[in-house]
């Protein structure tokens, strides 16, 4: 009789194969899903900033903060060093060109003046003595020359007379030869005296101008020393307002030390710092505007400083037309600096997302509004309100413009 065996309940070996195959299929499916959708982040829609991408007019400008400054600032450096003895004008006071602001005292300079005066007096005495010597020699030379000329004429006449008498046989040969020798000697003496007199005259003609030039230089040097003495009075270099004065009574000031400045208030300029990102686009003669008490004022960019410090460079702007009433140095204005012409463009509102993405990508909200996907974009110019979109977005699309730091490395955002 056959005995029927009951089937054992539970998993058989072949079931393990089915389970392993199911697990493998589930893992492959999960990988395919994550490969397509990436990491997902869930966020509350009401806590995000969502903006529309629109087609519109892009105004190519940047907003900067400028500070009013005097049109010209003239620095005062000490021409001469010394100790401050008097302080006649205080900071903030209005000054006229030439007003004495400080008085200095310099003992060494006084000693130098005395030495220069003493040397000048010695030089003047030397020149006077030399002139007297030359004058005396000139007189003696002319007297000697006149005497030698007269003696030569006398000897010549005596020689000619004796020659005629000798030819007639009326005098001896010795008398004739003596008169001839006296004539020739007198002639040579005259020539010597004349050469000596000419040499004295030439020496006087060349030496005196040199001595007088030396004296003139010493007088000029003394005049310059007197000017240095006047420089102990520190004067205002121009009309304006004494901006600051770094000097107190009793303080020792070094030559060339900066001790103050005068602000010329005939006009004003505006100084501003701009991020180095714009250094290639900021040029002279660009226009700028700002509003004050309901009135718009126009500026022109006058100067771009070449140095970049702490990621910024400096510019100067001047007013075109009327200035604000009660303008004062140190006031601040928010200024629109026009970098280029306005143009039609795709506009993306500015937001803090740029800090996380650098403008290279953005989360775009789908038409249903329940999800946002990461998309690469390309941004061009920017102003205080918009980025100019060059690629990656279309008119009417919505994007998340708030900060992305909390999203991590998510590729899509589920909006609740």
251 CB neighbour count, 10 Å cutoff: 14
What's the Cα-to-Cα distance from 232 to each of 96, 244, 285, 350, rounded to whole Å?
A: 18, 19, 43, 60
User: Which string of b and e fits 264-292 if b means at least 16 CB within 10 Å?
Assistant: beeebbbebbbeeeeeeebeeebebebee
* 8 A C-beta contact, residue 344 and residue 331: no
Q: Token pair of 294, please? A: 């309901």
Q: Token pair of 199, please? A: 């040499």
Among 240, 311, 292, smallest CA distance to 91 is for 240
* 8 A C-beta contact, residue 84 and residue 248: yes
| Residue 7 phi, psi (nearest 5) | -70, 135
* 8 A C-beta contact, residue 244 and residue 261: yes
Provide the 3-class DSSP secondary structure of residue 174: helix
DSSP β-ladder status, 371-376 and 361-365: antiparallel
pLDDT at residue 308, rounded to an integer: 92
What is the Cα gyration radius of the chain? Answer: 52
pLDDT at residue 22, rounded to an integer: 66
pLDDT at residue 18, rounded to an integer: 62
pLDDT at residue 35, rounded to an integer: 42
- Residues lower than pLDDT 50 in the chain: 1-2, 5, 8, 30-37
pLDDT at residue 312, rounded to an integer: 93
Q: What is the dihedral of CA 97, 98, 104, 109, to 10 degrees?
A: 130
Distance CA 211, CA 234 (A): 36
Provide the 3-class DSSP secondary structure of residue 17: helix
Distance CA 33, CA 29 (A): 6
Q: Token pair of 374, please? A: 């990461």
pLDDT at residue 185, rounded to an integer: 92
pLDDT at residue 34, rounded to an integer: 46
Check residue 30 and give left, alpha or beta (phi > 0: left; psi -120 to 50: alpha): alpha
Check residue 313 and give left, alpha or beta (phi > 0: left; psi -120 to 50: alpha): beta
pLDDT at residue 32, rounded to an integer: 47
DSSP assignment string, 22-59: HHHHHHHHHHHHHHHH-SEEEE-GGGS-EEE-EEEEEP
pLDDT at residue 37, rounded to an integer: 46
């Amino acid at each position: 009789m056959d005995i029927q065996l009951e089937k054992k309940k539970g998993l058989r070996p072949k079931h393990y194969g089915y389970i392993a195959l199911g697990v493998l299929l589930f893992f492959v499916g999960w990988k395919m899903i994550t490969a397509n959708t990436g990491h997902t982040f869930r966020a509350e829609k009401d806590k995000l900033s969502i903006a529309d991408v629109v087609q519109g007019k892009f105004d190519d400008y940047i907003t900067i903060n400028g500070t009013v400054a005097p049109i010209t600032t003239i620095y005062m450096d000490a021409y001469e060093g010394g100790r401050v003895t008097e302080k006649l004008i205080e900071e903030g006071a209005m000054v006229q060109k030439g007003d004495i602001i400080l008085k200095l005292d310099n003992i060494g300079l006084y000693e130098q003046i005395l030495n220069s005066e003493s040397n000048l007096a010695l030089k003047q005495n030397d020149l006077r003595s030399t002139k007297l010597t030359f004058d005396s020699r000139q007189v003696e030379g002319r007297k000697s020359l006149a005497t030698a000329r007269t003696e030569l004429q006398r000897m010549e006449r005596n020689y000619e007379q004796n020659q005629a008498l000798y030819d007639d046989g009326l005098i001896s040969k010795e008398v004739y030869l003596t008169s001839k020798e006296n004539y020739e000697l007198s002639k040579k003496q005259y020539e010597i005296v004349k050469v000596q007199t000419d040499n004295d005259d030439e020496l006087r003609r060349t030496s005196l101008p040199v001595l007088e030039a030396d004296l003139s230089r010493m007088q000029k040097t003394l005049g310059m020393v007197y000017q240095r003495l006047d420089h102990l009075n520190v004067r205002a270099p121009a009309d304006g307002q004494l901006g600051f004065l770094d000097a107190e009574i009793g303080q020792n000031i070094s030559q060339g030390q900066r001790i103050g400045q005068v602000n010329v208030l005939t006009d004003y300029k505006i100084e501003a710092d701009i991020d180095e990102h714009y250094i290639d686009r900021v040029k002279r003669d660009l226009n700028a505007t700002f509003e004050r008490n309901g009135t718009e004022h126009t500026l022109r960019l006058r100067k771009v400083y070449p140095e970049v410090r702490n990621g910024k460079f400096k510019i100067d702007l001047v007013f075109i037309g009327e200035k604000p009433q009660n303008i004062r140095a140190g006031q601040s204005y928010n200024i629109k600096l026009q970098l280029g012409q306005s143009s039609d463009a795709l506009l993306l509102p500015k937001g803090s997302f740029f800090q996380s993405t650098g403008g290279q990508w953005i989360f775009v909200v789908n038409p249903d509004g329940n999800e946002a996907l990461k998309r690469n974009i390309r941004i061009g110019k920017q102003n205080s309100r918009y980025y100019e979109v060059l690629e990656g977005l279309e008119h009417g699309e919505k994007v998340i413009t708030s900060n992305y730091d909390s999203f991590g490395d998510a590729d899509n955002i589920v909006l609740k």
